[in-house]
Amino acid sequence: MSCTYRNNYFESEEFLNLALHSLSVVQAPIYILGAYIIIMKTPNKMGKVKFPMLSMHLIFASNDVYAATLALPRMVFPICAGYSTGVLSSIGVPIWIEGYIGLTMFFLFGPAVTMFFENRYNYVVRLDCNTHSRRFKRAVHYFINYFIALNVLMPSFLNLPDQSVARQIALKKLPCLPLEIINHPRFFMIGNEDLNFVCTGLFGIFIWTQIIFFVAKTVNFVFRTKAQSQQTAQLQRKFFRAVCVQIAFPFVVVMIPACYNLSATYTNNYDMAFTNVSVIVITSHGLFATIIMLLIHKPYRTETLKVLGIERFYKSNKLTVVRMSISIGQTGPDEAGIIPVPGVLETSYYEKQSGIKKIIYTVRDLKAVKILYKEDQVPWA
């Protein structure tokens, strides 16, 4: 057992609370913006992914808001203990209820991500995605995942040690732990690390098995199957890459402190400064996920820039199309405005603000065209 306590500012309750409060001030408007963009600005072409996108966003955001405002947990690893100083503590909510809610909300990450990839698998790969039987099976699948996530820690909380005994165990395992933590009136320890490890380990296997299955099936279809148009395949590949980046980047951010906490738990190394920093980083997970979501998907990025009033980044994203007819050996149109075109119709694309953007394409073998002097707005990809 390695126990390190330096009694510096980064190990203090004040540092942790200040960091989490500051984080919550930044998070709140971004989470509201993310929810608004998903609910109000999701285009029809992304309609199938709207609900799982919103569900995942709300779960990530709720976990961060809970930790940074309602709970303010001060964790103690490797003994799965700690206390809270947030809003719920001030109104007298029992600490074991706070702990169960906080840990359960973290475990809800698993079903949220699983259901997101299941959604892609269902609508991209399966042919029976809209049948009644398929919808019923998906509803049962959703229920099982969320039911397990909500109850995965029930065995641990049904076998809680007496908290006076838990304080003695904590002091014995971590002799450097300051008495202000041990004697805190809301100090709480789950106890039985082996049972906690079994519960979380089985849940992790359950979630990761599903994620790997859905990702593998979707990747195989999108990147290898030829039974679809090239344009459709390219759009599906682009969107699936964006989804993977959206989930992977925040996941990597969280895995760094999570791996430290796991290693601390099972190597019996205690460092309060690193524990505080890990809590702060994990609480920022939803912030990273929301920012990546708003930036990586083009419709969300465009709408976000509009909301923020950054016009110069989205106004030039449109082109003015000027269609011109060119004839060979013909001086003008007839009375109906129709001219014979023996050769070529050329259409030039002009950018609205900064000159020529795309040059000419040719349509051959046309019998006749009508002279058009019309400007259309088309999105610039």
Closest CA to 96 of 71, 113, 114: 71
CA 57 to chain centre: 6
Give pLDDT, residue 315.
55
Helix or strand holding residue 375 (H, E): strand 375-379
Whether the per-residue pLDDT at 375 is higher than 60: the answer is no
Most confident of 174-178, 181-185, 247-251: 181-185
192 band by pLDDT with thresholds 50, 70 and 90: confident
pLDDT tens figures, 195-245: 888 898 999 999 999 999 999 999 988 887 665 667 777 888 888 888 888
Q: Which residue has the higher pLDDT, 312 or 98?
A: 98
Whether the per-residue pLDDT at 333 is higher than 70: the answer is no
Residue 142 tokens read as 């959703």
Q: Which stretches of the chain are DSSP H helices?
A: 13-41, 50-65, 87-90, 95-107, 109-124, 132-151, 154-157, 163-173, 179-182, 193-224, 230-267, 272-283, 285-296, 298-308, 311-314
Most confident of 39-48, 187-196, 303-312: 39-48
Closest CA to 58 of 3, 8, 116: 116
Most confident of 123-127, 213-217, 325-329, 371-375: 213-217
Give pLDDT, residue 322.
46
Contacts for 230 with CB less than 8 Å, ≥ 6 apart: none
Q: How far is residue 200's CA from residue 196's CA, in Å, rounded to a whole number?
A: 6
Mean local confidence (pLDDT), 67-77: 89
Q: Which residue has the higher pLDDT, 8 or 78?
A: 8
Whether the per-residue pLDDT at 376 is higher than 70: the answer is no
Q: Which stretches of 7-71 are DSSP H helices?
A: 13-41, 50-65
For the chain, how far is it from start to end, CA to CA, in angstroms? Answer: 57
Supply the mean pLDDT for the chain.
Answer: 80
Domain coordinates in residue numbering, the chain: 2-308, 312-379
Whether the per-residue pLDDT at 377 is higher than 60: the answer is no
Architecture of 2-308 per CATH?
A: Up-down Bundle (1.20)
Burial class of residue 247, CB neighbours in 10 A (0-12, 13-18, 19+)? buried
pLDDT tens figures, 114-164: 999 999 999 988 888 889 999 999 999 999 999 999 999 999 898 888 888
The C-alpha angle with vertex 134 and arms to 132 and 137, in degrees rounded to 5, equals 110
